[in-house]
Structure 1
Amino acid sequence: MSEPYVLVLYYSRHGATRTMARQIARGIEQAGFEARLRTVPAISANCESTEPEIPEQGALYCTEQDLAECSGLALGSPTRFGNMAASLKYFIDSTSSLWLSGALIDKPASVFSASSSLHGGQESTLLSMMLPLLHHGMVISGLPYSEPELIQTNSGGTPYGATHVAGKDNDQPVDSTELALCLAQGKRLAKLANQLQHN
């Protein structure tokens, strides 16, 4: 069996969620855990379309084994009408065998998201991602207000998880406040994974 790791599983269309995932992974590793970055393939409206087995760039596609063997999970998605992206939901919907086996019970999980506008459904997207994790028996971890950036932010950041405001054209970079919250979220998740693993 591999060394313990925290899985950072995300879908990103324009790159902001990927940037957040990498920063969360940094926080996990700064807290002494391995971070395993994984993504999911895009869903095509064309039923004949398939993705290559290995993506041309970025993180590898997540397998059921990646999810089953993780010590914790950070789940990230852009906001799609106040909900997670279909590509990520499609993957999560395929994990019923893990639900049946209880593979994820008592493991910590957190969520993160990006949207074009400040009130573009970030919080409802985070809540939508928590629902299947609760069904899996995971322990949900948010961001506490001991993180000063939660009060100072003029862009993304919620107690439910790190967020980013990408702008109308999805061209706003993840700012320093948002990055700090991603880092804090990764550190907290790794700390909880360590505590829960040793109980």
Structure 2
Amino acid sequence: MSSHVLVAYHSDSGSVEELATAVESGARESGARTLLRRLGTGTGDTAADVLGDVLWAQVIAVGTPTYFGNVSAPVQRFLEHCRTAALAGALADKMVTAFTAGSSANGGQESVLLALHRSVAEWGALTLPTGYTDPAFRAVGGNPYGLSVTTGPGGPLDPGEAAMAGRALGRRAMALAERYLEPLARSR
């Protein structure tokens, strides 16, 4: 199976972009057809553009900076663009995972990940947490709800740790997509 994986993200400082690139690499290296979409650029951010990408994907990884315990405005707009399709049932059974970065370990990263999971639960999507399934997740923050990285005040991510954790998330998403989404698609 060659799953379609959309990595949609917003990044201000570059930390979330580093993670997004690594997640996309991990999925692609595992055999996925991937699409990396930066949100908040104004280019290609229309509801039709975003919805086309979401409908194409079987697996969606959403990345956002941690803003006061919540997602960024571009990620919120991304979710809002999906509303009509979600209400029509067109987003059911997609697999969605989330990742975030913030400058403080206690700055609301867990809240961000749970907010994203709550949003896609309304789609009927399967949420994919990281759990404690790979040591790379713990090395960058250890949040079981998704990939969560503490960057330190204004500091960059450790590129090696970020790449390992992001690739691990991409590989995990692909492995579970093959295990659960392929049989689900065959049963229809």
Structure 1: gaps of 5 or more residues: 43-50, 56-60
Map 1:103-182 → 2, pairs under 5 A: 103-151=90-138, 153=139, 155-169=140-154, 171-182=155-166
Equivalent of residue 183 in structure 1, options 164, 167, 187:
167
Matched with 1:96 is 83
RMSD: 2.1
> Is contact 1:78–1:114 with CA below 8 Å preserved after alignment?
yes
Shift of 1:68: 1.3
More divergent stretch after superposition (23-32 vs 141-150): 141-150
- TM-score, normalised on structure 1? 0.82
Matched with 1:35 is 34
3-state SS in 1 of match to 2:90: coil
Shift of 1:136: 0.5
Code of the aligned partner of 1:161: G
Question: 1:82-128, CA deviations, whole angstroms, 9 ceiling, x for partnerless residues?
Answer: 01101110221122221122122111110000001111111111111
Shift of 1:62: 5.2
> Is contact 1:9–1:74 with CA below 8 Å preserved after alignment?
yes
Count residues in correspondence: 180
Structure 2: gaps of 5 or more residues: none
> Is contact 1:40–1:62 with CA below 8 Å preserved after alignment?
no
Identity %: 29
> Is contact 2:7–2:36 with CA below 8 Å preserved after alignment?
yes
Shift of 1:144: 3.3
| Structure with bigger gyration radius | 1
Q: Whose helix fraction is larger, Structure 1's or Structure 2's?
A: 2
Q: Distance in 1 between matches of 2:135 and 2:57?
A: 29
The runs of at least 4 consecutive aligned structure 1 residues that moved more than 4 Å come to none
